[in-house]
Structure 1
Amino acid sequence: MQCLTKLSLIAFFAVTTPSVSGAQSIEGFRLGDDKIALQRLGVPSETKVDGAFTTLAYHGPDGIDINATYQKPSNRLVALQATWPKDAVGPSTGYGDLTFGKTTLSEIRSQMGSKGILYGSQSPVVTSAEGAINILSYFDVSGTDTVATFVTSIDSDEAATLKATFGADAYKNAPAAAKLRTISLSRREYLENSHGSKRTLDVGYRAISWTSKDTTSKHPAISLARIKPAQLPVFRTYSGPNNFPDFTGRDKEFSNFRTRITDGMSGGPSFAGEYSVIQIGCGTGCSFAYVGNNRTGQVFNVPVGGEDNMYLSLRYQLDSRLLVAQWADYDASKCYVQFFGFDDGEWSDLLKREVGSMDDCFKTIAQNVR
């Protein structure tokens, strides 16, 4: 799967909170169980060996696919995963009101109060060659070394509909369309073998509380500088002639700023392989920005700017689809750094972090992201 820029549980457990014995389990299996417990699923459909770890795949009850990973020589389970492989609404997950094929990413984020954890070496949004999109959300389980992963998906047809309906704002509307497809539980040490140990927690992050009311994560937020442009590489760099917008047709909505946009694109691409970034002032401390495709001439809005995002600063580079924005919330008197991914004209909101008071927005992004 190709990484995009691009990219999740607490309140709903008040409805049907699993018992302590049932928490942190998938289809009745728990991390730490001996692999012999898997025998009740019958013969695995597939076996994969990766060093000391072996993953067994099964077709489980209710049409759910189950993957279980154990570690040698202990033969104890270190990861469990349940996936609903169909497009239709599936069975209950067994946790609160989460339902495969029905619960949306918007609902998960709303109930969690944040977007969870961003791993430094893993893009939270991936797409298949067919155009389906998977969004990965990670949360610690409070008081344990377990990390829960929730994968919500948008099939290729729905992704195409989103793009046709919302254009450059498609990813803003993606959370309402992405449906729960997979739940997995992993020992944190095992997960970090592939994801790395560098993590950043979203604004308002809290760990899942399955066994107590304590929702404070034992893992503090890390340096924002660990979100690297290399996580979102480009796959081509345009070096041909500059092609400017069609201000009488496709790009008519941007015609009021045709001179500024054309001038901003004249120097060639500087972002995401083939785009120019154009920032335009709108008063004291106020600005907004566009990105123009130097290959096609098409113009797109940058998702932050104007009076809602004062003192806007942007950081980006030609060989990455990552755009970092720093801006101030005047009413709250706070400064934020926000990370966006950009792919084929669509934005993905990856993470937002408060970095201090509004005065901190007079510092550079480099000063605040360290």
Structure 2
Amino acid sequence: MKQLFAAALSALVISPASTAFAQSMSGVSVGGDRQQVDSIGSRPVATEAMGPHTIEKYKLSGGNELSVTYHRASGKIVYLETDWGGETAGAFSDFEGFKFGKTTLSEIRAKLGSNGMSFKERPPVTPTPDGGLALFNSYEVNGSGTIATFVTSVSAVTVKSIKEKGSNPNVGDTAKLEAVIVGEKDYLETIWGSDKTKSPNYSAIDWPWNGSGQAPKSPQAALTKPEAADFPVERVYRGKTAKPDFAGKNAHFRDFRTRIREGMAVGPGFAGEFSVIQFGCGTGCSAVIVASNKTGQPYSFPRGGEDNMYLTLKYQLDSRLMVSQWGSYDSGKCIMEYFDFANGIWSAIAKREIGPLDACYKDIEENGP
């Protein structure tokens, strides 16, 4: 939705100070400081000033986009929005159990116990520029002073088909998750109005890892590093290496076909059936592709390039866990990040700061994987 309500931000006022809350997306928390955004490890693709606030947009792994709004004077983050980029690799949302492009509005209602609430000054259903529909269902988050909004959409093709056939399908089964928004209540009321309409049986919700029974048991548990044994593969492929196909959806890999073929010739070394191919793109810069020796299908790794310098990896044949270490010139930090690779999808499961940028000159083992 590319922060659908950006046009309404021109009327913003400074929100009163409040407690920093734990609702977060991509490691960035509403109520936290703008410096948290540096952990993303890349530059914003767009920046816009709106009143006393600034909006920054970032491209995430898997093709999604994160929009962060913060108050310039205090640096406090007041609004986060993650928009699905349409790629399978980005289907997992920051709300546990919900997937972009798959979870329906009916499933959201069932999971959260109601249809949520709507703001009277913000229509619950809005036409999209391409002729589709966007639906907005909001819920207060228990004990936080924040509101979560789940944006689902009905495609233009589906809307056209419904009009042509004159049918009346259940929109809850048709609308699928497109974006997740979390904002401070006081802030949202300045852009969407304070009057709300709550659906029958409405109740506030728990945000995953912040609600009852979902929080980490202790600081020590929260800092536990993922282990390869926790992500086992079902079997290791021992057959003949398949030839990769660089046509159709794989056409963008064509420029790297020689490197991919040579890398696959060595045989699998990761996640049961994959070859890991890493190649340079300049001083301190590299890119990574993994390719299935079983099917020939190549996949891009979500880290690399100039935004993730000095990239090094740790992996093994009998595990789906990929440990990556990389440095960000923008923040001057070295980052250790952990991914699970299952069914062709990279899922970021943990991230920690190792130290200053030059810590990335050491290998992963020296920094403690």
Could you tell me the TM-score, scaled by structure 2's length?
0.49
Q: Which has the higher contact order (CA 8 A, sep 6+)?
A: 1
